[in-house]
Chains A and B, each alone.
Chain A
């Protein structure tokens, strides 16, 4: 685990990176987060990059746009960024402001994001990573768009969510 600054963390989990921000995205917090996240992406070559902002109490349009930029950078490096936990009030305001939310992959929580990534990972790759917690009971929660040709669990209902 790398602690990059008070309340900004980047952890490795099941071959993914989980970045968590727990304060408002001031310019210095964002710069710090970007630097450490991209460094971790290069070092660990994660398949998924889960960015958890559930503890961010408020984010304005510009801060959201800057955060998206960081996610785009991580995607350019070959990762698959998923934004997780945006507060409902922030979402409402962003949409009413007509902020650009297109093409952003999101999930309701970290577990759902991990599950989605697991579901869209080929079996042989998946074996390397023993799941540390079981989220199978949450079959009714959101699971996202699967990559073409990836294994589907047919016994469980699949929903889609992409903001």
Chain B
């Protein structure tokens, strides 16, 4: 997990993001990684450089084959948590990033894809 966060920060800076934006992305990665560890036990984090007509950016996919999320709308609300913590993770990640997409199926797993554009 620490490795994923460090890589995210490095990749961001290599991609041309400023230190502050790199910190934001690393914070988002950390939240997703912590969710995987906490709720799914294991999973993976993939960092990609992406480019689109609008420019270049970085994409992160955090995916696991864990229990999935039954009520995704609730999970995206501020202060909703099934883990007795603050429940600020997912909504915070959405605020920190430009693009946010979550796909989840109960019993099959969760995949969160986030992007930040330069």
Q: Which A residues fall within an 8 A CB radius of B?
A: 24, 26, 57-58, 60-62, 87-90, 92-94, 96-99
Contact = CB atoms under 8 A, between A and B. Distances in A.
A58 B34 contact: no
Given A61-B30, A96-B24, A96-B95, 5 more contacts: A60-B26, A60-B34, A89-B20, A89-B24, A94-B27
Determine chain B's interface SS by DSSP, over half rule: helix
Interface of B: 2, 5-6, 9, 18-24, 26-27, 30-31, 34, 78, 88, 91-92, 95-96
Contact of B96 (A57, A88, A96): A96
Nearest to A89: B23
Q: Max chain B CB contacts within 10 Å: which of A57, A61, A90?
A: A61
A159 B20 CA distance: 25
A54 B31 CA distance: 23
A58 B30 CA distance: 11
Given A93-B24, A97-B31, A98-B78, A61 B5 contact: no
Contacts, number: 58
A57 B10 CA distance: 12
A120 B67 CA distance: 54
B96 to A, nearest CB: 5
Contacts of A90: 23
A62 B26 CA distance: 13
A35 to B, nearest CB: 21
A89 B78 CA distance: 22
Given A24-B2, A61-B31, A89-B21, A98 B26 contact: no
Interface centre among A57, A89, A96, A98 (most CB of B within 10 A): A89
A58 B23 contact: yes
17 contacts: A58-B9, A58-B26, A61-B27, A61-B88, A61-B92, A62-B30, A88-B20, A89-B19, A89-B20, A89-B24, A96-B24, A96-B95, A96-B96, A97-B31, A97-B95, A98-B88, A98-B91
